[in-house]
Homo-oligomer: A and B are copies of this chain.
Amino acid sequence: MKLEEVLSEALRIVKPTKADESLLKNVVDRMKNILKEETSRVEGVLGISLEGSAAKNTWIKGREEADIFIHFDKNIPRDEMERKVIEIGFKAIERAGGKPRLMYADHPYVEGVINGVTVDVVACYDVEPLNWLSATDRTPYHTRYIIERLKPGQEDQVRLLKGFMTGCGVYGAEIKVRGFSGYLTELLVLNYGDFMNVIKNAANWRPPIVIDLEGYYRSTKEVLEMFRNQPLIVIDPVDMGRNVASAVSLTKLSEFILASKMFISNPSLNFFKPQIEKPAIKDLRSLSAGRNFLYILFKLEVERPPDVLWGELKKSEEGIRRALERLGFKVYRSGSWTDETELCLLILELDTLKLPNFTIHKGPPIHLNTVEDFIKKWSGKAIGPWVQGDRLYVLKKRDETDVVKLLKQELDFNRVAIAKGLTPLIRSAKIDHRVDRLIEYAADNPPMLSFINSFLKAKPPFIPD
């Protein structure tokens, strides 16, 4: 397919219809009215506003979301504000016919689905720039900045970029993804003009990348000194001290660069369509043949906000990875999955499931006087010691070599840096290496099966089989 065709087809996928638009507009108007009524006699509430992609006209089809902000006076204490937004949000979503749910990001907000549209009722303080009292106070300024600068037609360019990033698996600043936020895609389009120009530039990126739209800094060097160890730095036009892309991991940035290169070489609609395939059990079995996996499967007892849960999972995944490497395994890859309400899975691919019976242990250099203690210590307990170069070495026999038993031991002795909130669950989790049993277990859980499939395939969605 030619590039022009791909882009016009892609736009049909990502651009809401008139009907979609009016549906969203109706929900927004209704919610705003309800919230105005609910807050009219609440002390400290200064106004109601629509923020986010709905306000900026940059949402993508099927991802209708209304972020409605309640603006508080800056003299209202934080806990009072939080209490009020929860109370008002619950009442308003119920009145609109939705089922309210308490959520947390930096502070609590209330979410509900009304006529298929996700509505978030969020609190912020009405403050001047740089006098931020809470993390959401910048949002109204972000909205205004984008609305004032996006030229007609650029909204659709943002939609193409969001659609591309979604299809490539790099869209979303949440911990689960560690990718690009909606605001970041808008700033990229503002900076480069249109979708294809973002892609062409990204294809040539070599991190670290610096984008400073308002020219707050004198040089790239100055920015890099300010924002160390961040692969992508996009200075927030409403707050020069903030990197809009701080959540973007090097891996996700690299995936976006790679996807951009590949899209230029071979434009295709596949980049905009996440491949949701229902893998066949026997394909999964043959895909896993001869490989070594270790998985940890457990159920939550208490629900928590997705970002909290994903943070715990990622931290635990990393801790287990490091523990296994310390024990002597090579961890080729690892991944986490959860249905975000109950079931959690950590999975790792390893070089082996069994360590060698013996391990080499380096002693002190010969010139130290501790060498004789070392010899006494290991006498009769190890093979050796022998001298090699300027050091002593022994071969120690391992008491345990099986990966499952070793990990269980490490967990029992509290030697694995897992998230506190998951510790008892992981300690009593199912820890196993038989991935065929896991596939069987997931047979009637399509999202889980799909995750296992993508973990076994070990490639981002935009790289074809």
On whether the beta carbons of A332 and B257 are closer than 8 Å, the reply is: no
B residues near A352, Cβ cutoff 8 Å: 356
Closest approach, in angstroms, between the C-beta of A38 and any C-beta of chain B? 47
Q: Which of B261, B351, B387, B392 has a CB less than 8 Å from the CB of A372? A: B261
* B367 and A257 form a contact (CB under 8 A): yes
Number of copies of this chain in the oligomer? 2
Q: Contact partner of A258 among B290, B292, B379, B387, CB < 8 A?
A: B387
The complex places the Cα of A383 from the Cα of B255 at a distance, in Å, of 17
Q: Is the CB of B367 within 8 A of A205?
A: yes
Question: Is A275 an interface residue when CB atoms closer than 8 A count as contact?
Answer: no
Tell me, in angstroms, the Cα distance from A459 to B383 when the chains sit together. 8
Rounded to whole angstroms, the CA-CA distance of A457 and B380 in the bound complex is: 11
B356 A459 Cβ-Cβ under 8 A: no
Residues of B within 8 A of A359 (CB): 351
Contact between A332 and B358, CB atoms less than 8 A apart: yes
Q: Which residue of B lies closest to A384 (CB)?
A: B458
Query: Which one of A359, A360, A367, A460 has the greatest number of beta carbons of chain B within 10 Å?
Result: A367
CB within 8 Å for A290 and B358 given contacts A206-B367, A265-B372, A375-B463: yes
Give bound CA distance, A228 to B371, whole Å.
26
A333 close to chain B: CB less than 8 A: yes
Q: Which residue of B lies closest to A252 (CB)?
A: B387
A261 to B205, CA, bound (A): 60
Q: Is A129 an interface residue (CB 8 A)?
A: no
Complex-state Cα separation, A251 to B390, whole angstroms: 6
With A332-B395, A375-B463, A458-B395 in contact, do A356 and B351 touch (Cβ < 8 Å)?
A: yes
**Assembled-state Cα–Cα distance A393/B243 (Å):** 29
> Which residue in chain B gives the minimum CB-CB distance to A454?
B386
> Which B residue's beta carbon lies closest to that of A391?
B254
The one of B205, B231, B330, B386 that contacts A333, using a Cβ cutoff of 8 Å: B386
In the complex, are the beta carbons of A385 and B463 less than 8 A apart?
A: yes
> Contacting A254 at CB < 8 Å: which of B360, B387, B395?
B387
* Chain A interface extent, by class: 35 or more
Please give me the residue from chain B that is nearest to A349 by CB atom. Answer: B395
Pairwise interchain contact A332-B351, C-beta atoms closer than 8 A: no
User: Which residues of the other chain, B, contact A265 by a CB distance below 8 angstroms?
Assistant: 372
Residues from chain B with Cβ under 8 Å of A458 in the complex: 383-386, 395
**A251/B388 contact (C-beta < 8 A), A375-B463, A383-B458, A463-B375 known:** yes
Residue in chain B with minimal CB distance to A170:
B387
The proximity string for A residues 238-271 relative to B, scoring 1 for CB distances below 8 Å and 0 otherwise, is 0000000000001100110110011001000000
A357: chain B residues at CB < 8 Å are: 290-292
What's the least CB distance linking A137 to chain B, in Å? 34
Chain B contacts for A205, CB-based, 8 A: 367
**Cα–Cα distance between A380 and B465 once the two chains are bound (Å):** 7
7 closest A-B pairs by beta carbon, nearest first, are: A206-B367, A254-B366, A351-B356, A384-B458, A290-B357, A386-B458, A255-B387
